[in-house]
Chain A
Amino acid sequence: MGLLSDPNRRRALISLLTRLNAPICVLCYFAAVCWFMGLSFEPFTLRTYMSENAMGSTMVEERFPAGERALATAKEFGAHKKKVGGMPVDWLVKTMQARGLEVFTQRFSRTLPFPDENNERYIVEGTNVYGILRAPRAPRTEALVLSAPCSPGDDNNQAVGLLLGLAHYFRNQVFWAKDIIFLVNEHDLIGMQAWLEGYHHTNTTGMDWSPLQGRGGSIQAALSLELSSDVVTSLDIVLEGLNGQLPNLDLANLFYAFCQKIGVLCTIQGRIQRNDWDSVSGYSHAVQTMMLMVMKQASGRSWGDHGLFLRYHIEAATIKGINSFRQYKTDATTVGRLLEGMYRKLNNLLERLHQSYFFYLMPSLSHFVSIGYYMPAFGLLAVILLLRALDLWVQLATPPSRNEDGVADIEQSSTGVLSVLTPLVISHLTGAALYMLPVRFQEMAVEHFQVSETEAVVLTAIAVYTGGLALPHNTHRLISGEGTEQGWRVLKLVAVLYLAVLLGCTALINFSLGFILALTLVPVASFVTPHVPKLLSAVVLVILSPAFTLLFSVFIFQELQEMPVSFQDGWMLYLSVISQGILDHYLYGSLVYPLIALMVYPCWLLFWNILFWK
Chain B
Amino acid sequence: MAAPLTLLLVVAVTIRAALYRSSLAEVIAERVEVVSPITAWKRVIEGLALLDLGVSPYSGDVFHETPLVIYLFHFLVDYAEITFMLADVISAIALYLAVKEYNKQVVRKKQKFALEADRYPQDCLELIRSPKEMLYIPLKVAMFYLLNPFTILSCVAKSTCGLNNAVISLFILTTIKGNALLSAVFLCLATYQSIYPLTLCAPAMLYLMQRQYIPVNYRRASFWWFVVQYLFMYLGSLFVLICLSFFLLGSWDYLPSVYGFILSVPDLTPNIGLFWYFFAEMFEHFRLFFLCVFQINVFFYTVPLSIKLKDHPVFLMFMQLAVISIFKSYPTVGDIALYMALLPVWSHLHRFLRNIFLVSCVLLACSVLFPVLWHLWIYAGSANSNFYYAITLLFNVAQILLVSDYFYAFLRREHHLIHGLYLKKKDGSEATLVLK
Contacts and interface: CB of A to CB of B under 8 A. Distances in A.
Contacts of B372: 505, 508-509
The 4 closest A-B pairs by CB, nearest first: A358-B382, A313-B381, A5-B435, A505-B372
B132 A4 contact: no
Contacts of A358: 380-383
B434 A505 contact: no
Contact of A359 (B375, B382, B401, B435): B382
Given A313-B380, A389-B361, A5 B132 contact: no
A588 to B, nearest CB: 15
A206 to B, nearest CB: 13
A4 B379 contact: no
Given A393-B357, A407-B132, A509-B375, A501 B433 contact: no
Interface of A: 4-8, 10, 245-246, 310-311, 313, 352, 354, 358-359, 386, 389-390, 393, 406-407, 410, 497, 500-501, 504-505, 508-509
A129 B289 CA distance: 58
A497 B381 contact: no
A69 to B, nearest CB: 38
A310 B382 CA distance: 10
Interface in B254-307: none
Contacts of A501: 364-365, 368
A337 B424 CA distance: 85
A393 B376 CA distance: 32
A313 B379 contact: yes
Interface of B: 130, 132-133, 136, 354-355, 357, 361, 364-365, 368-369, 372-373, 375-376, 379-383, 401, 408, 432-436
A352 B382 CA distance: 12
A245 B380 CA distance: 8
Given A386-B361, A504-B365, 17 more contacts: A4-B401, A5-B436, A6-B436, A7-B432, A8-B434, A246-B382, A313-B380, A352-B381, A358-B382, A389-B361, A390-B357, A410-B136, A501-B368, A505-B372, A508-B373, A508-B383, A509-B372
27 contacts: A5-B436, A6-B434, A6-B436, A7-B354, A7-B432, A7-B433, A245-B380, A246-B382, A313-B379, A313-B381, A352-B381, A354-B381, A358-B382, A389-B361, A406-B130, A406-B132, A410-B136, A497-B361, A497-B364, A500-B365, A501-B365, A504-B365, A508-B369, A508-B373, A509-B372, A509-B375, A509-B376
Nearest to B433: A7
B184 to A, nearest CB: 39
Contacts of A10: 354
B432 A8 contact: yes
A358 B384 CA distance: 10
Contacts of B381: 313, 352, 354, 358
B371 to A, nearest CB: 9
A410 B133 CA distance: 9
A489 to B, nearest CB: 13
A405 to B, nearest CB: 9
Nearest to B366: A501
Contacts of B408: 5
Nearest to B369: A505
B355 A4 contact: yes
B422 to A, nearest CB: 14
Contact of A245 (B136, B369, B382, B436): B382
A505 B368 contact: yes
A445 B380 CA distance: 38
Nearest to A502: B368
A509 B369 CA distance: 11
Given A505-B369, A509-B376, A5 B382 contact: no
Contacts of B365: 500-501, 504
B383 A5 contact: no
